[in-house]
Amino acid sequence: MSATTADTHVFDVREDNFEAEVLQASLTTPILVDFWATWCGPCKTLGPMLEKLAGEFNGAFRLAKVDVDKSQQLAAMFGIRSIPTVMLVKDGQIVDGFAGALPEGQLREFLQKHVQALDGAANDADVAPESPEEAINRLQQAIAAEPDQPELKLDLALALMRAGHADAAEAELSSLPANLATDARAVRLRSQLDLARALAGAPSLPELQQRVQADATDWAARDLLGVRLLLEGDATAGLDQFLVILEKARDWNDGQAKKRLLAAFTTLDDAELVGRYRRRMASLVF
């Protein structure tokens, strides 16, 4: 795919053309709005990926780029507090969005939830998503080229964690400046690391499942089973284990089940799932 092909689906937008080029245009074609700035390190990671996908999707959506320094009123109107922030506009309404530089695989998942691919558009069978190791390599090269962009180190820490390199991720996280230590992504990563540390030397998933089946009140095994399920991608099953402990043995290990649930909520992207389990936790606690 040529750069020219991608460029036909990517355009700059400001206050004077936002209504026509985004709101009105979204009545026929979904518009992905990327709020960015030239000084933003993560924007330099996310922007090229979004432009690449705009070309690969071949007109299934268009990418509107908003430089927040040049369009401060637009940024204020949409309540932009951090960049990059991305919003998807369909039928004149914001239907979804996210903040931060997601990996390519998650970007594809986000788009496929809302965008109907056109003939000739790329799909998962055509283009393999970026692997965690590829993301690590790309970010390491970006940091070497721009060592004064600490946001890239946070992106690298997240990529390392996705690849299973918890110690390396923790080292990158510890090196972040104070202003990034409280970033939502850093807080999430810290919770993931805390959960991963709990599995140091822990039994395998099948062994933990056997222990719980043999003794439903083996709270230590159930706790570790919940952590392992959560980190291995079965969030619902993992959260269910913590809820059982909370219901049957609320005070076990100084109320660890509640702590696990709160940490898990921080790590999960699924707002509907988190909301549902928060309500279930609250019904048991209060």
Q: Which positions ≥6 away from 251 have C-beta within 8 Å?
A: none
Angle in degrees, CA 46, 142, 99, rounded to 5: 25
Alpha-carbon dihedral 149, 150, 154, 157, rounded to 10 degrees: 100
φ, ψ at 113 (rounded to 5°) = -70, -25
Q: Which of 22, 33, 40, 111 is catalytic?
A: 40
43 is catalytic: yes
Q: Which of 13, 25, 32, 43 is catalytic?
A: 43
Across 27-158, the runs of DSSP E, i.e. the strands, are: 31-36, 62-67, 85-90, 93-99
Report the candidate in 147, 181, 142 with the shortest Cα–Cα distance to residue 159.
142
Q: Exposure string (b/e) for 84-116, b if CB count within 10 Å is 16 or more?
A: bbbbbbbeeeeeeebbbbbbbbebbebbeeebe
40 is catalytic: yes
Please state, in angstroms and rounded to a whole number, the distance separating the CA atoms of residues 83 and 68.
9
Q: Is the dihedral angle over the CA atoms 234, 46, 180, 157 positive or is it negative?
A: positive
Angle in degrees, CA 259, 197, 200, rounded to 5: 125
Structure tokens at 267: 């790590």
Catalogue the active-site residues.
40, 43
